[in-house]
Amino acid sequence: MSHSSEHTIVIFDGVCTLCNSAVDFLIRHDRTERLVFGSFQSAEGQHVLQKFGLTEPPDTIYVVHDERLYKESDAVMLLSGFLQPWYLRVAGMCGRVVPRGIRDLLYRWVARNRYRWFGKKESCRLPTPEERKRFL
């Protein structure tokens, strides 16, 4: 599926339970439907990452917005700007008062432990028929 530059692409770990829950949350709260999703494991997700010279399996969420690649806490902060209702955006903006180095340190700690704490699926998340237009 082709998506225009007005969309923001979210590349996530399709077998990570935490990541899939985050995608479900983003789909529910991105009422403008500007976010589109692809898993690291999909050919489409790999193609997006290769455009930025990334070939190793990532240990972070990646967001492509306005032809720029964001990762770790910067990606999370960017995604919060798409959320409705307004207080979810405000909560995300509050995270910006924490220096990036500290935010990323916390992000990497959760990322390293995500399978142990939240679990891992045998296969990638499949979108429902209604969600299909939101996936690469």
Closest CA relative to residue 46, chosen from 3, 13, 70? 13
pLDDT at res. 98: 93
Query: What is the arrangement of strands in the sheet containing 62-65, beginning at the earlier edge strand?
Result: 35-39, 8-12, 62-65, 68-71
pLDDT at res. 126: 78
Q: Rounded CA gap, 3 and 8, in Å?
A: 9
Mean pLDDT of 30-36: 92
Mean pLDDT of 14-21: 92
Domain coordinates in residue numbering, the chain: 8-122
pLDDT tens by residue, 66-77: 999 999 999 999
Longest dimension (CA), the chain: 40
Helices 17-29 and 100-118 cross at an angle (nearest 10°) of 120
Q: Rounded CA gap, 66 and 82, in Å?
A: 14
pLDDT tens by residue, 82-126: 999 888 888 888 888 999 999 999 999 999 999 999 999 887 777
